[in-house]
Amino acid sequence: MAQPALIDDNSGGDDTQGNEAQGNGVELGALHGILGFHIRLAHGAVYRHFTETFADLELTQKQVSMLWLVGDHPGIAQIDVGNLLRMDRATTMTIVNRLQDRDYLRRERSSSDGRKQALYLTAGGEAALEQAKLCIDAHEAWLKSRFTEQEIEKLVEMLARIHD
């Protein structure tokens, strides 16, 4: 069938969440007990579905997160965005650069601290963010569909214990 890489194309219509590793009799073994391993696999699955969902908008996770943060905090400094998203300065640069090139974001020297770049959404950026939030809703619905409200709360709380 020449599947397109790992993306679950779901073109069949009614197949049941076909994400399982088609173990050819081969199993994970002791690797199954490794928590970090499950986090990586879960992240990969989320990443792939995100990429699919945002294929039309051509936005990545980091780009959306950054648009979102700048939308919530106009004038936020580059360094603060980086800190909140756990990116170093160099990585933050590349994301801001891309969004600026696409005219979604603009930089402005901070008046209170000349070292900082204050970030603002352009009109295009606000429109893109609006679109993106709709996609996020769909993406999150897909992700959360397998959990109860309580489970989601517990899961978020546990994940926060890892990254906080």
Name the minimum Å distance from CB 143 to DNA: 16
Give the residue carrying structure tokens 């007990």.
33
In the list its own copies, DNA, none, the entry touching 57 (Cβ below 5 to 8 angstroms by class) is none
Length of the chain: 164
Query: Does 23 contact its own copies by CB under 8 A?
Result: yes
The torsion angles phi and psi of 86, rounded to 5 degrees, stand at 60, 45
Q: What is the DSSP letter of 116?
A: P
Sign of CA dihedral 22, 146, 48, 34: negative
- What 3-state class would DSSP assign to 9? coil
> Do 142 and 49 contact (CB within 8 A), yes or no?
yes
Among 67, 70, 95, 128, binds DNA (CB under 7 A): 95
Instruction: Give the footprint of its own copies on this chain (CB under 8 A).
Output: 5-6, 19-24, 26, 28-31, 33-47, 50, 61, 65, 68-69, 72-73, 76-77, 80, 83-88, 136, 139-140, 143-144, 146-147, 151-152, 154-156, 158-164
Instruction: Give the footprint of DNA on this chain (CB under 7 A).
Output: 1-7, 24, 44, 48, 51, 60-63, 77-79, 82, 86-98, 107, 113-117
